[in-house]
Structure 1
Amino acid sequence: MIKMVCSDLDGTLLQYGKKLIEGEIFDEIRALHDRGILFCPASGRQYTSLRKLFAPVADDCIYLCENGAVVYRSGKVIAKTPMPRALAEEIAWDFWNNTEDLGEVMLSGENMSYLMERGHGVVDRIKFIGNNYTVITDPAQIPEDIVKVSVYLVDGVEPFVERFVPKWQQANCAVAGPKWIDTTVANKGIGVQSICRVLGIDPADVMAFGDNYNDVAMLDLVGHPYIMSTAAAELRRRYANHTPRPEDTLRAFLARQEN
């Protein structure tokens, strides 16, 4: 019995380059809610950005933010997994110093993005997705726990994947999009586990959708994982259930509930 549906955003519910979620998903979230099934956006984005995206159904959702490092329900943090401060700062400086002046760094707090920028567009991107943000020059300036460290690579992640992903596996380093590499001691699997623990849900009763490597921990945890048809071949081989759109799978699921 499905008790919660989790979905990645960028590349899954929200195609890369788009700003707004449109179409039937809001009606589907309402229908899930009416059946007592939670809907959980599961994203590297912060709470403020996610709540804006889901404004028509904002109060019907639980929010897995910052790749699982922060979970919000009813406007309150119900789980948080900070990074060790020294590790977060070391990774930030590695991203800054070893990306051939192409990388810009984002360090995430509970509901704030701290940007180390060099004019390649990270500020515009963060404005586009709607995060709260401030510009800094040193991670030591951040006055709160750091939950995630990311690098934005304007020309794409490919030249830097082998440089960073193996090195920072202790921080779950993973490609999070065409221009993003993320690190955090949490992951979306840990975020879903936190929700399940707090709410008494069995992960076997969770359906989840994802498209990229930072979704793997979540998809491996749940009983009903779906990978996007546009995902990398390695990920499509890993999961039996493929979908072109989460909305299509949810429409069929809800239709079955009516029979």
Structure 2
Amino acid sequence: MAVKMIAVDMDGTFLDENKQYNVQRFSRQYALLKEKGIRFVVASGNQYYQLQRYFPELKDEIAFVAENGAWVSDSNEEIFCGELAKEKVHQVLDILAKEPEISTVVCGKKGAYVHSSISDDVVAMLTNHYYRLEKRDDLYDIDDTIFKFSLNLAHEGVDALLERLHTQLGEVENIMHPVSSGFGFIDLIIPGCHKAHGIALLQEKWGISDCEVLAIGDSANDIEMLRQAYFSFAMANAVDSVSAVARYKTENNNDEGALNVISRVLAREFPFD
């Protein structure tokens, strides 16, 4: 089976701990992928505008499954954009107001929004994921298409918060689905609007089957994507639930594990021989 699509997560996968990647090596790889007709897809919880900044020379020709699948584009053409009704946005904010330890980001098509009371230190950290980020006095009054919430908190509180949110959101017709994005982040996504959904839309557009898809990830928000792709790779630094789902393993993100997999594809080495 030949690989026709490569989908990569960013944080903890394609990017190293300094949020960088070997640009020269990947540029050479991408030229060969393009020559062979293999599609390259960036699949991340990060904001669309933030993801474009990592690929300034390629952003107009590659595909992005951004915001954990809430916004999908190919060569700047919008393929899908989720939307949460305003009353549901307010219901979610009411639930999150009971969690004083979290920093809440309201994610929309025009940009991302945090409450004006959030400290500058937290905002500075969030700008690593959100290029367009604004402070607002009232998160209930945002004129934008809202499709995701991102929550940040101390690592040790993630599992307990996930459990509480599963219960509270489930009581409101499963209004949003909470998923860990790693690094102390939890994303609330519209049910069904995950990375696998976005990749499936691109597969349909390009006529690519699951057995021709390669996906690489490290966090819980990659699980659906890895289950869908036949060639599923977990990073050496992946969480246990991801390692359990993936068919194959690769080196960690600081050792260019994702680029090493792409090299194996191009060289037709196992399991691509």
TM-score by length of 1: 0.89
Tell me how far apart the structure 2 counterparts of residues 2 and 111 of structure 1 sit (CA, whole Å): 34
Aligned 1:81-120 pairs, distance under 5 A: 81-95=82-96, 97-99=97-99, 101-116=100-115, 117-119=117-119
Residue 37 of structure 1 deviates from its aligned partner by 0.9
Residue of structure 2 in register with 1:223 after alignment: 230
Query: SS of 2:181's equivalent?
Result: strand
Residue of structure 1 in register with 2:180 after alignment: 175
Residue of structure 2 in register with 1:211 after alignment: 218
Tell me how far apart the structure 2 counterparts of residues 141 and 60 of structure 1 sit (CA, whole Å): 35
Residue 111 of structure 1 deviates from its aligned partner by 4.1
Q: Say whether residues 1:188 and 2:180 are aligned partners.
A: no
Tell me how far apart the structure 2 counterparts of residues 234 and 19 of structure 1 sit (CA, whole Å): 23
Instruction: Give, as a single letter, the amino acid of the residue that structure 2 aligns with 1:187.
Output: H
**CA 38–68 in structure 1, closer or farther in 2 if over 3 Å, else same:** same
Tell me how far apart the structure 1 counterparts of residues 268 and 76 of structure 2 sit (CA, whole Å): 32
Residue 212 of structure 1 deviates from its aligned partner by 0.8
Tell me how far apart the structure 2 counterparts of residues 198 and 89 of structure 1 sit (CA, whole Å): 34
Residue 227 of structure 1 deviates from its aligned partner by 1.2
Query: SS of 1:140's equivalent?
Result: coil
Residue of structure 1 in register with 2:3 after alignment: 2
Tell me how far apart the structure 2 counterparts of residues 111 and 4 of structure 1 sit (CA, whole Å): 28
Residue 83 of structure 1 deviates from its aligned partner by 2.5
Residue of structure 1 in register with 2:122 after alignment: 122
Q: Which runs of 5+ in 2 are unaligned?
A: 252-256
**CA 98–27 in structure 1, closer or farther in 2 if over 3 Å, else same:** farther
Which of 36-45 and 199-208 deviates more? Answer: 199-208
Residue 231 of structure 1 deviates from its aligned partner by 1.3
Tell me how far apart the structure 2 counterparts of residues 127 and 178 of structure 1 sit (CA, whole Å): 14
**CA 84–194 in structure 1, closer or farther in 2 if over 3 Å, else same:** farther
Tell me how far apart the structure 2 counterparts of residues 166 and 213 of structure 1 sit (CA, whole Å): 18
Q: Contact (CA 8 Å) 2:104, 2:150: kept in 1 or not?
A: yes
Tell me how far apart the structure 2 counterparts of residues 22 and 165 of structure 1 sit (CA, whole Å): 38
CA-based RMSD of the aligned residues comes to 2.3
Which of 66-75 and 146-155 deviates more? Answer: 146-155
Residue of structure 2 in register with 1:143 after alignment: 143
**CA 62–94 in structure 1, closer or farther in 2 if over 3 Å, else same:** same
Query: SS of 1:10's equivalent?
Result: helix
Alpha-carbon deviations, 1:171-196, whole Å to 9, x = none?
22111112110011110011111212
Alpha-carbon deviations, 1:89-117, whole Å to 9, x = none?
3223322x233x32111111124111125
Q: Contact (CA 8 Å) 1:48, 1:132: kept in 2 or not?
A: yes
Query: SS of 1:2's equivalent?
Result: coil
**CA 208–130 in structure 1, closer or farther in 2 if over 3 Å, else same:** same
User: How many residue pairs align between the two structures?
Assistant: 256
Residue of structure 1 in register with 2:259 after alignment: 247
Q: Contact (CA 8 Å) 1:4, 1:206: kept in 2 or not?
A: yes
Residue of structure 1 in register with 2:15 after alignment: 14
Instruction: Give, as a single letter, the amino acid of the residue that structure 1 aligns with 2:19.
Output: K
Instruction: Give, as a single letter, the amino acid of the residue that structure 2 aligns with 1:43.
Output: S
**CA 120–180 in structure 1, closer or farther in 2 if over 3 Å, else same:** farther
Q: Contact (CA 8 Å) 1:203, 1:221: kept in 2 or not?
A: yes
Tell me how far apart the structure 2 counterparts of residues 168 and 228 of structure 1 sit (CA, whole Å): 31
Which of 147-156 and 186-195 deviates more? Answer: 147-156
* Higher relative contact order, chain-length normalized (CA < 8 Å, sep 6+): 2
Which of 140-149 and 84-93 deviates more? Answer: 84-93
Tell me how far apart the structure 2 counterparts of residues 129 and 234 of structure 1 sit (CA, whole Å): 23
**CA 26–129 in structure 1, closer or farther in 2 if over 3 Å, else same:** farther
Q: Contact (CA 8 Å) 1:12, 1:211: kept in 2 or not?
A: yes
Residue of structure 2 in register with 1:72 after alignment: 73
